[in-house]
Amino acid sequence: MDRRQGLSVRLKLTLSYAGFLVIAGALLLTAVWVFLLRGRSQSLVVSDLSDFLRVFDPSNFGPVVFVPAGILVLAFLLVFGLVGGWILAGRMLAPLIRITDATRKVANGPLSHRIRLPGRRDEFRELADSFDTMLAQLEAHVAEQQRFAANASHELRTPLAVTQALLDVARDDPNRDTGELVERLRVVNSRAIDLTEALLLLSRVNQRSFTREHVDLSLLAEEATETLLPLAEEHDVTIETSGDTSTTIGSPSLLLQLTTNLLHNAIGHNLPEQGIVWVHTSVRTDTVVLTVENTGEKLPSQLVPTLTEPFRRGTERLHTGHAGVGLGLAIVESITHAHDGTLVLTPRPAGGLRVTVHLPAASAHVRQV
């Protein structure tokens, strides 16, 4: 929430306590002044040195009169200070009480509750805004996890259901050819294994439990290209690689998985014939860039931001038999974020998709250390 700059809580408390101190001192001085000039016919405003000696005159002022009066004044100041301080502290701590109440509501209820503390910016308002931002991120994360769990359960249930159906058919028809049944079971089981491994990889990436070392993205691009070259030839797709040495710091295996997923996605979501995939690496200021582009059908601009969601496939653009498990770009996004990078998806005007991964350069890591 954008707010205008206001006084800090520390300054407010300082000014408030200083104000009460000034008021209390003024009352005390006024009381002493009145008793000091007691019995004079001259103006109370004008005084001389002889007036201060009247404090010790038993017939005029003296301890007998001053001490009870002083006790009464101090008692009044004590009560005044306690009441005023209580009211002041309540007003100052009201935002903190509101934040505490919101914390209790969130702990025992939905994450949709927000503080929305009004007023200009100070420590309490910044705390409330940070808490609201945290709640929004937490709510989005929980919703994403729930959606992911539901989708994962659905995806895992499908091969299990198919396996169960095939086994039921085999049981009801003992004379059925087992060769075809075994082959279909193998395919279904392979898909379930791929999905499980992808889920485990995604979990590992989100936990950031990996060792970091120097990695050259250009070498990973060449390795991924060599690995997927048979798949590209099978789909009549040409892969063109170019670029400079682009060194970052991270996990070689995860960054290779990122590059492989992008290249596999570019091959699988391409033209039926004579498709092209461009892989390019470059170095910018404190950043290394990996770009993967492919030809293909034109993509609606509103569809592109959703492609990194788990189990989002866009099956109408996939080659039959290579639909994957729906976690390719989701894993790419998680690996990118785990390496403190950014992922940008852009539809190509001529058709296809451009995916750009920005990662901190190794030199930037050294300067930060």
Q: How far apart are CA 265 and CA 233, in angstroms?
A: 15
Instruction: List, in order, residues 6 or more apart from 80 with CB less than 8 Å away.
Output: 24, 27
Nearest Cα neighbor of 246 from 294, 293, 292, 284 is 284
- Between the alpha carbon of residue 39 and those of residues 32, 124, 127, 131, the distances in Å are 14, 53, 58, 63
Nearest Cα neighbor of 293 from 324, 319, 270 is 270
pLDDT of residue 152: 67
Nearest Cα neighbor of 283 from 275, 291, 274 is 291
- pLDDT tens per residue, the chain (369 residues)? 666 777 766 677 777 777 777 787 777 767 766 666 555 545 544 555 565 565 556 665 555 555 676 677 667 766 776 777 777 777 777 888 888 888 888 888 788 888 888 888 888 888 888 988 888 888 887 877 777 677 667 667 767 787 888 778 777 777 767 777 788 788 778 777 877 777 777 677 766 667 888 999 999 999 999 989 988 999 999 999 998 888 999 888 889 989 988 999 899 889 988 999 999 999 988 899 999 999 998 888 888 888 887 666 554 433 334 445 567 788 888 889 888 899 999 999 988 999 999 999 987 654 554
Q: How far apart are CA 173 and CA 166, in angstroms?
A: 11
> What DSSP state is assigned to residue 55?
G
Q: How far apart are CA 307 and CA 303, in angstroms?
A: 7
**Which tokens in the block code for residue 359?**
């990662």
pLDDT of residue 262: 92
CA angle 328, 334, 335 (to 5 degrees): 90
**Which tokens in the block code for residue 294?**
């492919």
Whose tokens are 């306690």? That residue is: 82
